[in-house]
Chains A and B, each alone.
Chain A
Amino acid sequence: MSVSNLLENWSKFRHNHPVEDKGHPDWQAYPSEIKWAMAIDLDACTGCNACSVACYAENNLPVVGKEKYSHGQAMHWMRIERYWDEDNREFPDQGAQFLPMLCQQCEAAPCETVCPVGATNHTEDGLNSQIYNRCIGSRYCSANCPYKVRYFNWYDYPSTENVWPAPMEQQLNPDLTVRGKGVMEKCTFCKQRTYTARNNAKTEGRKIHDGDVQTACQQACPTNAISFGNLFDPESRVAKQWEQQQVELIKAEQEKDVKPGNNLRGYRIFEELRPYPSVMYLERVRENGV
C-alpha cells in the first residue's frame, strides 16, 4: 500500500462544498439519486414524545435514568424541546411550544470537517454518518455542532451500566449495533430502514418510491407531523413540501425570505450558519395555550 493510495482514499470521503462546486451536492465517487430529507410540521406537533420513544426502541438507545438525565447525559437522538410562553399565566394554563430536534444531516456539516480520524462522513444518500468503530471520542464533532444533537456514550451502558437487564436485551433491534462506551452517536435517519428499502428496491429492479421507508419517529407520530423521503424524487411528499415552502437545500438564504409579504411557513434552523441542513420545519401558526 502506497502513500498515494492512502491519500486518494482519504480524499474520497470528503465530498465537495455543496454550493461552491456545482450547485448541488457532488458525489462523483458515489453517484446517487437519493437525498434523504425531512419536514416537521410544528403546527401538528403536540409534544407527545412518541417520536422520541419510538427512536429509543428502534435505535437501541440506552435509557440512562433520572440522575444521569438531569446531568445532561441523556441519549435521546430525537428530543422534544419545550419552550414556555411568556404569557403571564401559571403552569396548567401557561402556553408552551414544542420542537422535535434531531440531527439535521447537514450538507456542509460542521461536525464532519473537524473529526481527527474521519469517523463522521457524508454518505452517498446525503446523510451524515457516524462510524462507531473508528471514533476515538475526542468529541470535537459535538463541540462544533450548532444544534448539539450528537450524543456521547459517557458510560458503558450495555455492560457495566446494565441498562438492558435480562430479558430486556431480547427487545434490542438486531438491525443495528449496541454502542459501547467512549463513542459518539446520533440520529441516522433510521439508516437500517433506508438501506433495507434501497436493497429491496434494487432486488425488485425499480427505483425507490415514496412510502417505501418510514423513519421510526415518523411512523410513531400520531399527528403525522413528520414527513420523510427522497428530496430528489419530485413525487415524494417531502419534496412537495419543500417546494411548496420554497425552501431550497443548497441555499443559505431563501429567496422567499427576502421577498416582502412572505406568508410561507417553511424554515430551517441556523440556515445562516450555512450548514445546509436537511430538515425543514414548518412554523407554528395556531395560538398557544388554548
Chain B
Amino acid sequence: MGKDIREDIAWAQINTDVLKSLENPRKLFWVIIFVALMMFGVGVGCEVYQYQTGMGVAGLNNPNVWGLYIATFIFWIGMSHSGTLLSAILHLMHADWRKPIYRFAEAMTTFSLMTAGLFVMVHLGRLWQFYYAVPYPNERWTWPNFQSPLLWDAMAIFTYLSSSVIFLYVGSIPDFAICRDNVHPGWRKKLYTLLALGWEGTDRQWRNFRVTYLTVACFLIPLAVSVHSIVASDFAMSQQPGWHVTSFPPYFVAGALYSGCAAIITLFIILRYVFKFEEYMTMPILKKTVRLTFAIAMVWTYLNWVEFATVWYSHDEVAKGVLIDKATGRFAPFWWAMNFCGSVVPFTMMIKRLQTNIPVMFAVSLLLNLGMWLERFMIVSPTFSHGYYPWTMDANYWPSMVQWGIVFGSFGWFTLLFMTFCKIVPSVSMYEVKEMVYHRSLATKKAELGLEGGH
C-alpha cells in the first residue's frame, strides 16, 4: 500500500489548495445548489399540503400508522454515525489516515442529524404542538412521559446534535484562523474573525484546544452509541412482531456505521473530484476506508442473520410470520434487494483491484446506502401490514406520493446544507493535514538518520 499522503507538500501549498475550495464557486456548484433547492422545494410543497390537509394524504392508514417518515428518519440518524466514528473513535485510536477526511464526515453527521430531526417533525400529526414533548414547567402541570422510548429518542437526538455541532466547531477553530488570515477583506473576513475566537496559535491555546477536543470526542462516543440504540428501542421495546428483538440496538448501531461509512466513500469521491483534492484524499486513504466499510458490512450481515435465526428458531409464530411475509409477500423484492445490497455487494470491496477503482467504489457505496435505506423500510412497514391482528393485515399498503416527495426533498435539504458548508468551512482539516505531513517527514528523517547512524 502506498503512502497516505506525500510528506513533501509545503504547508503553504496545503493552505492554498484547501482555501481554493472556499472560493469562486464553479458553474456546476450553482447547478447542484439549484437542483437541491428544487428537490427541497418539492419536499416543502408536500409538507405544506400535508400540514394543511392532514396526515391522510401521506397514504398512512390503520394499521400502517408509520411509514417512510420513520424509515427515512432512521436512515438519516444512521448516516450521522460515521462522522463520530472517524473523528472521535479513530482520533482516540491515533489512526492518522482519518485526518484529511474527518472534517466532511463530521459535517455529514451534523447535517444528517438535522435532516433526521425534520422527519420527526414531519411525522407528527399535530406539528404545531411538538413542544409538548419537551419537559418545561407550565401552569397546567403537564409533563412528558419518561417511559416512552420516543421521548428518550427526542432527548438523545437533541443531545447528539448539539454535541456534534460543538465538536465540529471546536475542531475547526484553527482552520477558521487560517481562513481569517488569508481571505480578502469583506464580510467573509469578519465572519471568520468572529468564528476563530481570536485564535493565534500560541502554546497555551493549542494545549487548551487539545484538551477540549479530546474531552468532546470522549463525550461524543457514548452518545453516538446510545442515540442509535435508543432509536432501536423505539422498536425493540414495543410488543410488535418483528420489532420485539433483543439484538436490535447493536444491529442498529452496526447498520448506522455501515451506511455512514458508505456515505463517506460517496462524498470522498465527489469532493476529491470537485475540489481536486487528489493530494489529500489519496488512494491509500480510500483503500483504508473501503476496508473499514467492508468489516462493518460483515458485522451488519452477521447481526442480520442473528436476527433472522432467533426469529426462525423461536416459537413465536407471529414474528416468524412477519419474517416469512418479508421474504415472500408484498415486500419481497425490497427485502431481497436489501439483502443483496447489504450483504453481497460489499464483497466487491474484498477485491484489491476494485478497492481503488473510483467508478466501481462510487457505484458500490450508493448501492450500499440503497440497501441500508431498504433495511429501514423493511423494519418499519412489514410489521404494520402483517402484524398481530389478522383482520388488519393489509397486503396492498403502499406509501403515497406525498411521503415519497418528502423523502426525496430531504436529500435536497441535505445537499443544500452540505454544499453551503463546503464553501464556508474548509472541508479538509488544514492543521491536521499539516500535522500529518510533519509527522511523516519527521519519521522519514529519523529513518534516514537511523540508516546513516548504522553505517
Q: Which residues of A contact B (CB under 8 A)?
A: 1, 3, 5-7, 9-10, 14, 68, 71-74, 81, 83, 99, 101, 110, 113-118, 134-140, 142-144, 146-148, 150-156, 160, 181-184, 270, 273
Contact = CB atoms under 8 A, between A and B. Distances in A.
A118 B148 CA distance: 9
A73 B59 CA distance: 9
30 contacts: A1-B138, A1-B139, A1-B141, A6-B141, A72-B61, A72-B64, A73-B61, A113-B148, A115-B145, A116-B150, A116-B154, A117-B142, A117-B145, A118-B143, A136-B132, A137-B126, A139-B66, A140-B148, A143-B66, A143-B384, A146-B387, A150-B62, A152-B60, A153-B125, A154-B54, A154-B55, A181-B126, A182-B55, A183-B125, A184-B125
Interface in B425-447: none
Given A6-B141, A153-B125, A136 B133 contact: yes
B391 interface: yes
Contacts of B38: none
A117 B142 CA distance: 8
Given A148-B392, A152-B125, A182 B130 contact: no
B118 to A, nearest CB: 15
A120 to B, nearest CB: 9
B123 A138 contact: yes
Contacts of B143: 6-7, 9-10, 118
B166 interface: no
Given A142-B62, A182-B126, A116 B137 contact: no
Nearest to B56: A154
Contacts, number: 157
Contacts of A154: 54-56, 60-61
Main secondary structure of the interface of B (DSSP, over half): loop
A183 B124 CA distance: 10
Given A72-B64, A114-B150, A151-B62, A10 B125 contact: no
Given A71-B61, A148-B63, A152-B65, A117 B132 contact: yes
B135 to A, nearest CB: 7
A148 B62 CA distance: 7
Interface of B: 53-56, 59-66, 123-127, 129-130, 132-133, 135, 137-139, 141-151, 154, 234, 237-240, 384, 387-389, 391-392, 394, 397
A160 B141 CA distance: 33
A140 B64 CA distance: 11
A93 B141 CA distance: 59
Given A152-B55, A182-B125, A138 B150 contact: yes
Contact of B54 (A71, A74, A147, A181): A181
Nearest to B400: A71
B285 to A, nearest CB: 42
Contacts of A72: 61-64, 392, 394, 397
A110 B239 contact: yes
B387 A140 contact: no
A134 B154 CA distance: 17
A136 B65 contact: no
Contacts of B125: 135-139, 152-153, 181-184
B389 A147 contact: yes
A142 B150 CA distance: 13
B54 A153 contact: yes
Contacts of A135: 125-126
Contact of A146 (B126, B388, B397): B388
Given A148-B387, A183-B125, A116 B145 contact: yes
A118 B142 contact: yes
A232 B141 CA distance: 31
Given A154-B61, A156-B54, A9 B141 contact: yes
Contact of A116 (B59, B133, B240): B133
Contacts of A155: 53-54, 56
A4 to B, nearest CB: 11
B150 to A, nearest CB: 4
A7 B146 CA distance: 10
Of A143, A150, A152, A183, which is in contact with the most chain B CB atoms at under 10 Å from its CB?
A143
Contacts of A68: 56
A185 B151 CA distance: 21
A154 B125 CA distance: 8
Given A10-B145, A72-B61, A152-B62, 8 more contacts: A9-B141, A72-B62, A110-B238, A136-B125, A138-B125, A143-B66, A150-B62, A156-B53
Contacts of A114: 147-150, 237-238
B145 A143 contact: no
Given A10-B145, A143-B240, A144-B240, A160 B61 contact: no
Contacts of B150: 114-116, 138, 140
